[in-house]
Structure 1
């Protein structure tokens, strides 16, 4: 059911289907993330905002010796709350990058790289298209960044 403000309500006949929809993501539609949450009686589409989302992150050119679930989840913890390692990564079927699902706070700057054993590695965020190159936050571009605007006002 279309609730309004780009929110939808879905119901499930089976609890297993509902649990998979809530916990099985992250889900992407046309290269954009779909946030799935349990319904709450206090929910208001007009007043709600999404501050956190699940994203797939890629650790580029990471040595295969680090393709261990505990190591990858520890690395991912510098980005946000790590949830799971991609099956292709866990089974070492992909060497160009390791892929981990992380819950990120959309109101804080994203982490662009990390240091492991003295070497810097880049991080790519799948499906996060509006990343500001000035403040590092999601949801706007550098042309309308309030960080720059505020620094001009105070500086």
Structure 2
């Protein structure tokens, strides 16, 4: 468990991953005040979703949030995606239920009407 002095530090740490410790993923999750561990808390986990060759005309938080909603609960975008400093792919952080089958692709319809996976 970590406590951050500034919310911005927490946001940057969560969005900056993925992180690994001894080759295993280190997962961050924001806990509510006065939380109590339950079995549900263990199965919900943040995952970085990578969207390769994501069209630039769709590169905004609204579109990325809708795609994230198809994968789980959108949490954030990494800083390179927000600033469009790496355009080969977009990356968003979503909370998924690890006890369920993970979604590995979604169908989207581009503004020109073309469907992509």
User: How far off its partner does 1:84 sit?
Assistant: 1.2
The structure number with the bigger radius of gyration is 1
Structure with greater helix percent: 2
User: Closer, same or farther in 2 for the Cα pair 1:18/1:74, shift >3 Å?
Assistant: closer
Greater RCO (CA < 8 Å, at least 6 residues apart):
2
Instruction: Count matched residues.
Output: 108
TM-score by length of 1: 0.55
Residue 68 (str. 1) matches residue 60 (str. 2):
yes
Q: In 2, are the aligned partners of 1:62 and 1:98 still within 8 Å (CA)? A: yes
Answering whether residue 82 of structure 2 is matched by residue 90 of structure 1, we say yes
Native 8 Å contact 1:82 1:100 kept in 2:
yes
Q: Pick from 13, 33, 38 the counterpart of residue 26 of structure 2.
A: 33
The Cα RMSD (Å) is 3.2
1:63–1:49 Cα change, 3 Å: closer
Which consecutive unaligned segments of at least 5 residues does structure 1 have?
Answer: 1-8, 122-155
Change (3 A) 1:66 1:107: same
What SS does structure 2 have at the residue aligned with 1:77? helix
1:113-132 matches, within 5 Å, as 113-117=105-109, 118-121=114-117
Query: Mind listing any 5+ residue stretches in structure 2 that lack a counterpart?
Result: none
Runs of 4+ in structure 1 displaced over 4 angstroms? 17-24, 38-44
